[in-house]
Structure 1
């Protein structure tokens, strides 16, 4: 792995480079559309997603380029859904990314995570599997890990990294030691602080020799970088190797600025406009009574999305999308087919007052109600009381 440097080069997207959608489409084109092999069957419970993933991705026969078959298992050990046509896969990787972000492998602010060192995980090669999971998540499901720090992304893309801020160090005691050295007003005070930290200094492999007060900041930076980057070098190498799955790592290295939005900056929040533009509506014949009811329901739907987008309702736009698709944001390449709105006419389905969804083909079926208040209450109640995602 190439060493990092204390400054970051200015990097802009070359106009001759492909855009993100083009790169992702090339990666997706490698996938085998045939049936999922048994080795790619992932049995998972929603409260143990990460451990389920580690077992599956550790199989020697696991084939990243083959189709996945995700089966959520309830407390009675019965499978939920017979065939995975995309919805369970999106749901699985959405939950997996959340668990990974909050796992022992990462540390730091919620949307700016660095890698942390777990020695036994390094020995077991778990960081390699973490990278593989993230690569498969991006290419198979379009679910992106938007929680990397600038530093971590620089390291996996072989770019120079920023100077280390002491606050990036997750060890409180070491942070205090470095602050004491950095804030020392005399050479003697700085040397005393270094001596106090000599045990840690030795483990980091840093020099304890300070010739002048002017060298203090350089020494502190060296120690901070050794902790934040140097000590996790092997874990970074494993993660980077895992990310090479399906060619994602090579794409990151070749087009670092193009790929960067998928890894850092947090997820772009959904807006009401996004949801309004996302769906195609399957209307009945113009002029029919069915069409009148459908027009009214679409009007209610659009007004409700605006309210939800204003964050004045008990549900979020992300929850609506999860209910409909299994994903909490629109994948970079969109969904495999245009999401569709259908209607629950009593003569077709019986009396159905709550929304229904098929997350595989991303179909949302809206109930028909005479008043907006009824529609809004039934939509919110149905989504909030549903399982994590619903099949019709």
Structure 2
């Protein structure tokens, strides 16, 4: 419905639904690509890219893709309910990074990396990329650590490049988004004091 499809949602309408989603994605992406093209032409970089495409390709890897490739979740045993919840949280991270790449208080891939690792740039050198990893852990029982409480926030350890997600407080995407963004922004305010 968010993509402009107004018909009945059913298996028979699968093709029009897919078309509406595809059209929505293309229309959203088109202005960004046009702006990128204009910027490249402004500085003559489009000629450099045409001349050296292999050398320039790593410059255009999406930050969110790199972040997701760098994430190493410590998942519970496959087939358990904990495992599925943990996979959902990893997918929520990806959704958040792709959703929030605009705006002054957004959590871009670079800001996400800086928050977790202390390193605010996506590594460009192959040697940097090879050894770069963000460990994601899951706390399924925060009451054992913190007693009875209403909310837990993710715990970040930049030296260890680790984030621990409080599963109990992040069961839906909206809960995940609210808790993670609040923790991120509170962390930014604390670091600026």
> 2:171 & 2:115 partners in 1: Cα distance?
23
The 1-side partners of 2:130 and 2:179 are apart by: 26
2:144 counterpart of 1:354: no
What is the aligned partner in structure 2 of residue 373 from structure 1?
Answer: 174
* Structure with a larger share of its residues in helix: 2
1:330 CA displacement: 2.7
Aligned mates of 2:74, 2:119 — CA distance in 1: 22
Larger Rg: 1
Give the Cα–Cα distance (whole angstroms) in 1 for the partners of residues 109 and 90 of structure 2: 16
Which 5+ residue runs of structure 1 have no aligned equivalent? 1-260, 262-266
* Residue among 182, 185, 192 paired with 1:384: 185
Alignment of 1:248-263 (within 5 A): none
Selected match of 2:89 from 297, 301, 306? 297
Q: 2:96, 2:132 → 1: CA distance?
A: 24
Distance 1:298 1:330, change over 3 A: same
How far apart in 1 are the matches of 2:109 and 2:132? 20
Distance 1:354 1:275 in 2: 21
Preserved CA contact (<8 Å) 1:337 1:361: no
After superposition, the Cα gap between the structure-2 partners of 1:337 and 1:268, relative to the gap in structure 1 and judged at 3 Å, is closer
Query: What's the CA shift for 1:269?
Result: 8.8
The CA distance in 2 between the partners of 1:292 and 1:349, in whole Å, is 23
RMSD, aligned CA = 2.9
**Where does residue 343 of structure 1 map in the other structure?**
138
Query: CA separation in 1, counterparts of 2:162 and 2:70?
Result: 11
Q: Map of 1:1-392 to 2, 5 A cutoff? A: 271-309=63-101, 311=102, 314-331=106-123, 332=125, 333-334=128-129, 336=131, 338-346=133-141, 349-350=145-146, 353-368=152-167, 369-386=170-187, 387-388=190-191
Distance 1:354 1:269, change over 3 A: farther
SS in 1 for 2:129: coil
Alignment coverage as a number of residue pairs? 123
User: 3-state DSSP class of the match of 1:334?
Assistant: helix
1:124-183 Cα offsets, whole Å, 9 max, x none, are xxxxxxxxxxxxxxxxxxxxxxxxxxxxxxxxxxxxxxxxxxxxxxxxxxxxxxxxxxxx
Displacement of 1:336 in angstroms is: 5.0
Spell out structure 1 runs of 4+ moving beyond 6 A. none
- Local SS of the residue matching 1:341: strand
Q: How big is the shift at 1:344?
A: 2.1
